[in-house]
Copies of this chain bind each other. A is one copy, B any other.
C-alpha cells in the first residue's frame, strides 16, 4: 500500500492534536510525518503512534517533499497553503481563507465528494457549524429539495481552540469562588452565560459565522437559490456544537420519511427516541466522528416544513475528522 508524506501545520493546538488522534485511529498510510507550528512551539515533542516527533517551524521550505498538508486553521494558511500547493502537495485547509474562492473546492465527503476532483492544490474544509448541518441536511435536500433553512446554533467553546476551553474552565471556577472575571478569548463572560456573537459582524448585521453557514451550504449544495438564515450563539459547553434547524422543502417530506432517510445516511446517527428521552446532546457526542440527528418533527408553522436537532463534536467532524476524511478520499480516488 502506498504511503504518504504528511505535514500538519498547527500541530500543537486543539485541532492539531485531534488531527493526530484521527490519523492514528484511521491508521492513515503515513510514510513521513512532519509536525509544524509557530516559532514559539519549536522544539516541542509530540508522540504519534509510539514515536516522538519534534515540532518544527512552519515555513514555505518546510512544505518541500510533502504529499498532503493538513492546516489546523488560522492566519498562517493564507501564505503557506499556496506554498504547499506550489511545491506539489495538496493542502487541506481548515481556515476560512480559501472557502469562498471559486478556484478552491469546499468539501464534506458525505455531501460533495465529487468536488475533490477539480482541486488545484488547495481543498478547503468548511466551518464546523456548517459541516454538521450539511451532513444532516444533504440527504433530505436530495429527497425533497430544501428551499429555506432557519438555524440557531449552540456552539461549544472549543470553536475558539484551547484558549476557549481554558477560558470556560477558568471562569467557571471564578464564578464558583465569587471572583471577578476578565474575558480574554470571548468578548464577554461565557461561564453560565450565552453570547449571541461569534466572529465579526458583517454589513448586513449577521456575523461572519452566521454568513459562513449560508455561503458554504450554497457552495457545497451547488445551489445559490437555497435561502439560509443563521443565528450563531456561544454556550458554556466544552466541545460539541448543537443546532436547532427548521427547513422548508419543495416536495413534502414526512418526519417518518426523513427518519428513514437519515437512519441510513452516511456519517449520520439517528438518535430520536423521545419516549425514552433519547435525543442528541453535546456530552454524549463529544469525542466521536458522527453527526447526531433527532427531535425530528413536522414544522407546525408552515407547509412542507421539518424541524431537526443536530449535534456533532466540533473538533472531530467539525474540523479534524472531516479534514482526514478528505485526505482519505484523495487516496481512494488516486488523486494524491
Contacts and interface: CB of A to CB of B under 8 A. Distances in A.
A194 B282 contact: yes
> Chain A's interface: helix, strand, loop or mixed, by majority?
mixed
A237 B168 CA distance: 13
Given A231-B309, A244-B231, A307-B231, A192 B301 contact: no
Interface stretch (A9-17, A63-71, A200-208, A320-328): A200-208
A152 B196 contact: no
B150 A301 contact: yes
Contacts of A281: 188, 193-196
Given A148-B301, A176-B172, A231-B295, A242 B196 contact: yes
B196 A244 contact: yes
B205 A237 contact: no
B244 A307 contact: no
Contacts of A296: 205
Interface string A271-298: 0001101011111000000000011111
A233 interface: yes
Contacts of A233: 154, 242, 244
A159 interface: no
Interface string A201-223: 10011100000001000000000
A238 B204 contact: no
A205 B172 contact: no
A168 B192 CA distance: 9
A235 B154 contact: yes
Contacts of A283: 188-189, 192-193
A158 to B, nearest CB: 11
A299 interface: yes
A229 B299 contact: yes
Across the A-B interface, give the 9 residue pairs with the lowest CB-CB distance, nearest first: A152-B152, A229-B301, A227-B301, A205-B297, A152-B244, A231-B244, A193-B283, A187-B277, A201-B274
